[in-house]
Amino acid sequence: MIIMKFGGSSLKDSKTIKEVKNIIHSSLKEKPIIVLSAIKGVTNLLIKSIDESHKGTFTSYNKIIKIHRKIITGLKLDEDIIIPELEELKKALDKLKNRKECSKRTSDYVYFFGERLSVKIVAEYFNKCNIKSEPFVSGDIGLLTDSQYGNAHVLPISYKKINRKLKGINVIPIITGFGGKDKKGNYTTLARGGSDYVASIIGAALKAKEIQIWTDTDGIMTADPRIVEDAITINEINFEEASEMAYFGAKVLHPKTIYPAIEKNVPVKVLSTFNPKNKGTIIGNKIRNHEEVSSISYKKDVNVINFSSINMIYSYGYLSNIFRIFKKYKTSIDMISTSEANVSMTLDSSHNLNQIVNELKNLGDVTVHKNYGIIYIIGEGVKKDKLGIISRISCALVGFNIKMVSHCFDGIGIGFLVDTKDVEKCINLLHREFIR
Q: Let me know if residue 246 belongs to a domain.
A: yes
Domain-ending residue, one of 232, 253, 284: 284
Q: Return the half-sphere exposure (C-beta side, CA atoms, 13 A cut-off) of residue 76.
A: 4
Radius of gyration of the chain (CA): 23
Would the pLDDT of 420 be above 80? Answer: yes
Distances (CA, A) of 51 to 90, 97, 109: 14, 10, 15
pLDDT cut 90: percent of the chain above it: 72
Indicate the range of 35-39, 126-130, 224-228, 345-349 predicted with least confidence. Answer: 345-349
Nearest to 333 by CA among 297, 305, 367, 299: 305
Distance of CA 257 to the CA centre of its chain: 7
Residue 54 lies in a domain: yes
Check residues 105 and 97 and name the one with the higher pLDDT: 105
Give the residue numbers spanning the domain of 157.
Answer: 2-284
User: 312: how many CB neighbours lie within 10 A of its CB?
Assistant: 22
Same domain flag for 370 and 261: no
Residue 221 carries which side chain, given as an amino acid letter? Answer: M
Nearest to 297, CA basis, from 345, 225, 369, 235: 225
Q: What CATH number has the domain bearing residue 381?
A: 3.30.2130.10
Q: Which residues pair with 173 in a beta bridge?
A: 134
Which pLDDT does position 385 carry in this prediction?
66
Rounded (to 5) percent helix, strand, coil in the chain:
40, 20, 35
Residue 308 lies in a domain: yes
Residue 290 located in a structural domain:
no
Cβ(235)–Cβ(284) under 8 Å? no
Q: Predicted confidence band at 188 (pLDDT cuts at 50, 70, 90)? A: very high
Verify that 326 and 255 share a domain, yes or no. no
Indicate the average pLDDT of the chain: 91
Q: Are 72 and 121 spatial neighbours (Cβ–Cβ below 8 Å)? A: yes
Question: Which CATH number covers residue 31?
Answer: 3.40.1160.10
* Pairing mode, strands 172-176 and 133-136: parallel
Residues 338 and 421 in one domain: yes
What's the pLDDT band for 252 if we cut at 50, 70, 90?
low
What would the pLDDT profile of 267-301 be if each residue is shown by its tens digit?
Answer: 999 999 999 999 999 988 777 655 688 899 999 98
- Domain-located, residue 289: no
pLDDT band of residue 192 (cuts 50, 70, 90) is low
**Other beta carbons within 10 Å of 402:** 16
Regarding whether 429 and 280 lie in a shared domain, the answer is: no
β-partners of residue 154 are 145
pLDDT at 312: 81
Contact 351, 326 (CB under 8 A): no
- Tell me how many domains the chain contains: 2
Q: Mean pLDDT across the stretch 367-384? A: 89
Tens digit of each residue's pLDDT (9 = 90 or more) over 18-51: 999 999 999 999 999 999 999 999 999 999 999 9
Domain presence at residue 64? yes
Do 303 and 249 fall into the same domain? Answer: no
Rounded to an integer, what distance in angstroms lies between the CA atom of residue 241 and that of residue 284?
10
Same domain? 38 vs 116? yes
Residue 65 is assigned to a structural domain of this protein: yes
Please state the separation of Cα 358 from the chain's center in Å.
Answer: 30
Longest Cα–Cα distance in the chain: 73
What pLDDT digit, counting tens, does each position of 129-180 carry?
999 999 999 999 999 999 999 989 999 999 999 999 998 899 999 999 999 9
Same domain, 121 and 171: yes
Long-range pairs, 331-339, Cβ under 8 A, ≥24? 331/356, 334/247, 334/248, 334/299, 334/302, 334/374, 334/415, 335/374, 335/404, 335/406, 335/415, 335/417, 336/406, 337/404, 337/405, 337/406
Select from 284, 312, 334 the last residue of a domain.
284
Same domain, 276 and 328: no
Q: How many CA atoms lie within 13 A of 283 on its CB side?
A: 29
Residues linked to residue 269 through DSSP beta bridges, in sequence order: 212, 282
Per-residue pLDDT tens digits for 349-361: 778 899 999 999 9
* Same domain as 92, residue 162: yes
Residue 235, CA distances (Å) to 203, 280, 430 in order: 22, 6, 20
Whether 308 and 174 share a structural domain: no
User: Is the pLDDT confidence value at 259 over 80?
Assistant: yes
Same-domain pairing of 354 and 229: no
Is residue 368 classed as helix, strand or coil in its secondary structure? strand
The predicted structure's pLDDT at residue 314? 78
Q: Which of the listed residues 284, 306, 339 is the one where a domain comes to its end?
A: 284
User: Does position 255 have pLDDT exceeding 70, yes or no?
Assistant: no
Each residue's pLDDT tens digit, 17-27: 999 999 999 99
In the predicted structure, residue 227 carries a pLDDT above the cut 80: yes
Asked if the structure places residue 61 within a domain, the reply is yes
Q: What percent of the chain has pLDDT over 70?
A: 97
238 pLDDT higher than 90 = no
Whether 346 and 386 share a structural domain = yes
The half-sphere exposure of 349 on its side-chain side, counting CA atoms within 13 A, is 10
